[in-house]
Structure 1
Amino acid sequence: MSEGAQFESLKTKHAELETALNAEEHKLQPDPQTVADIKKQKLLLKDKMALIEAGA
């Protein structure tokens, strides 16, 4: 997989996590652990995207 394709894949996953985070936060009683887990996953993806950009 090329870096461009990998970056786009990570970007898509990041957007999916953003959607999941918004859905969880708008529940009547959002689960704090789920919110924290999603945020951690988003940060990991963002770090991976930054590494790809730095290497390009």
Structure 2
Amino acid sequence: MRTGYVEAQAGVSSLTGGYVRGEVGARVAENLGLFMFGQATKHQRMAGAGLRYTFGW
């Protein structure tokens, strides 16, 4: 099972003002996904990557 997604957001926060955010990800196994993101405000920029492990009954 391999599925992916792309997500983009833009908005306004009462704490930081305007922001933009993008995220891409892919599910590499039934319960394991990889993702990367970037986010920017007027004052800061950040980026990261991670793993998502999902489980349930």
TM-score normalized with structure 1 length: 0.20
Structure number with higher strand proportion: 2
Structure 1 or 2, whichever has the larger Rg, is: 2
Structure number with higher helix proportion: 1
TM-score normalized with structure 2 length: 0.20
Higher relative contact order structure (alpha carbons within 8 Å, sequence separation ≥ 6) = 1
